[in-house]
Chain A
């Protein structure tokens, strides 16, 4: 029985096939992988060769030819791996081709982007250039404006100087008519304005100086206008007074005549009485008295603006009815004589006063006289 058991075990052991070699197991594992299916489609011939070798390996294993099975399994593995490698290489090449196309696209995009960057750079450069040009133009305009402003200021300053000078001149003109005396308020205002204008000019404030100087000039002109009439009147009065004084002095120098002064209202009378000038009843001056008349004629010629009245007189010895006629004739005769000496006849008025206003007792010949009266105010 024991012998039978050993025999049966030996028989089972003999009938059982040897274990698959590792190479064959590895191959079969490889054949299960997904890559095998891909290789079958893409490398059919090589996979078929591998399949054939696999088959031979299995047959050899089944025949317990383990070395042969191992070698065929290795061959089948090599061929299958080669097929897979070729497929993977193809896939890699295909991917590479795709990537190449993508790279070409990216390069094109880069070129476009770079071109646009260059365009943008150019535009920015132009903008920068434009901005610089604008700034330069603005600077130039500003410089020009400043220069114009300076010029305007200088012009305004010159104008102000001119106006101040005009105001100063107006003040001097006002001084000529003594405006400080005759138009004190206006003159003082003008003086104050001129001082202010001069100060403004010194401080460089042309506008203020100009305006103030104009006002000063106006005030000075007003002062001049206001003072002029008064000044001229005063001057004329002074001149007239001086002339009157001169006249009185000159009149006092005439020989044979005693000068008398008489005031009648505003009018002054300088009376030159020529006494005993006529013989009784006659109207022709005595020859020896003509020299006096000539001296008076010279005086009248020296003062040609003074109106002259010649009053003729008689003594009471002349018949009363003849007194006015004779006295008038005497005045006329003296006027005629003066005219012959070059005195303007038109300035002389004559009248006969008869025996009125005797200067001595009525019958004295001294009353046969004329009075040459010079009128003035």
Chain B
């Protein structure tokens, strides 16, 4: 019976310590997960959202520090920022791709216009040749 208070105390310690450790693990997993996603985005972005990704990494570092300092609330706020930033990066990548595609199309359009201009000139020249030939034939 003498040991009972000790057992209870240990139980209480364990009971309170286990959820806290589980939450830390969850936060750490979240950091890992978000870091992975950030790395993937960085590869995918091809420099399109460099600043945003750098900012995101700063927030992940801040989240880790917050976890270390046991400031879980702050860590979660950082996570929310990172998650939002990931979506922003997605949007920026999509925007960059759309702009790239637009630029590519505009270049193609310019090239086509130039080629068409040349071909129209060629056509005009050939038609002029034909007209001259017909006029000369008429003279004969």
- The reply to whether A78 and B123 form a contact with Cβ atoms under 8 Å apart is no
- The reply to whether B95 and A106 form a contact with Cβ atoms under 8 Å apart is no
Q: Could you give, for residues 119-130 of chain B, a 1 whenever the CB lies within 8 Å of some chain A CB and a 0 otherwise?
A: 110110011011
Given known A103-B105, A109-B116, A123-B130, contact A79–B91 (CB-CB < 8 A):
no
B88 on the interface (CB 8 Å rule)? yes
**One of A82, A86, A95, A106 near B112 (C-beta < 8 A):** A106
In whole angstroms, what is the CA distance A114 to B115 when docked? Answer: 11
Q: Could you give, for residues 89-114 of chain B, a 1 whenever the CB lies within 8 Å of some chain A CB and a 0 otherwise?
A: 00110110011011001101100110
Give the dominant DSSP class at B's interface.
helix
B85 on the interface (CB 8 Å rule)? yes
**One of B74, B98, B129 near A124 (C-beta < 8 A):** B129
Give the dominant DSSP class at A's interface.
helix
**What is the minimal beta-carbon distance from B109 to any residue of chain A, in angstroms?**
5
B68 on the interface (CB 8 Å rule)? no
- What residues of A have a CB within 8 angstroms of the CB of B127 in the complex? 120
Given known A99-B105, A102-B109, contact A74–B81 (CB-CB < 8 A):
yes
- The reply to whether A89 and B88 form a contact with Cβ atoms under 8 Å apart is no
**What is the minimal beta-carbon distance from B129 to any residue of chain A, in angstroms?**
6
Given known A82-B91, A127-B130, contact A106–B101 (CB-CB < 8 A):
no
For B127, give the chain A residue with the smallest CB separation: A120
- The reply to whether B109 and A103 form a contact with Cβ atoms under 8 Å apart is yes
B87 on the interface (CB 8 Å rule)? yes
A232 on the interface (CB 8 Å rule)? no
**What is the minimal beta-carbon distance from B92 to any residue of chain A, in angstroms?**
5
For B104, give the chain A residue with the smallest CB separation: A96
How many residues of chain B are within 8 Å of chain A by beta carbon?
A: 34
A370 on the interface (CB 8 Å rule)? no
**One of B91, B92, B115, B129 near A110 (C-beta < 8 A):** B115
- What residues of B have a CB within 8 angstroms of the CB of A75 in the complex? 80-81, 84
A116 on the interface (CB 8 Å rule)? yes
- The reply to whether B80 and A96 form a contact with Cβ atoms under 8 Å apart is no
In whole angstroms, what is the CA distance A228 to B79 when docked? Answer: 151
- The reply to whether B116 and A113 form a contact with Cβ atoms under 8 Å apart is yes
**One of A68, A95, A109, A120 near B102 (C-beta < 8 A):** A95
- The reply to whether B123 and A81 form a contact with Cβ atoms under 8 Å apart is no
Q: Could you give, for residues 302-319 of chain A, a 1 whenever the CB lies within 8 Å of some chain B CB and a 0 otherwise?
A: 000000000000000000
Interface size range on A against B:
20 to 34
**One of A71, A85, A95, A107 near B92 (C-beta < 8 A):** A85
- What residues of A have a CB within 8 angstroms of the CB of B88 in the complex? 78-79, 81-82, 85
- The reply to whether B95 and A88 form a contact with Cβ atoms under 8 Å apart is yes
Q: Could you give, for residues 70-86 of chain B, a 1 whenever the CB lies within 8 Å of some chain A CB and a 0 otherwise?
A: 00001001101100110
A100 on the interface (CB 8 Å rule)? yes
In whole angstroms, what is the CA distance A68 to B76 when docked? Answer: 12
- The reply to whether A78 and B130 form a contact with Cβ atoms under 8 Å apart is no
Q: Could you give, for residues 35-78 of chain A, a 1 whenever the CB lies within 8 Å of some chain B CB and a 0 otherwise?
A: 00000000000000000000000000000000110010011001
A93 on the interface (CB 8 Å rule)? yes
B133 on the interface (CB 8 Å rule)? yes
**One of B81, B99, B102, B116 near A71 (C-beta < 8 A):** B81
- The reply to whether B84 and A78 form a contact with Cβ atoms under 8 Å apart is yes
- The reply to whether A78 and B105 form a contact with Cβ atoms under 8 Å apart is no
Q: Could you give, for residues 102-143 of chain A, a 1 whenever the CB lies within 8 Å of some chain B CB and a 0 otherwise?
A: 110011011001101100110110010000000000000000
In whole angstroms, what is the CA distance A71 to B99 when docked? Answer: 30
Q: Nearest 3 pairs between A and B by C-beta? A: A92-B98, A120-B126, A85-B91
Chain B positions within 8 Å of A, measured between CB atoms, are: 74, 77-78, 80-81, 84-85, 87-88, 91-92, 94-95, 98-99, 101-102, 105-106, 108-109, 112-113, 115-116, 119-120, 122-123, 126-127, 129-130, 133
Can you report 17 residue pairs joining A to B where beta carbons are below 8 Å apart?
Answer: A74-B81, A75-B80, A75-B81, A79-B84, A82-B88, A85-B95, A92-B99, A93-B102, A96-B98, A103-B105, A106-B112, A106-B113, A106-B116, A116-B123, A117-B119, A117-B122, A124-B130
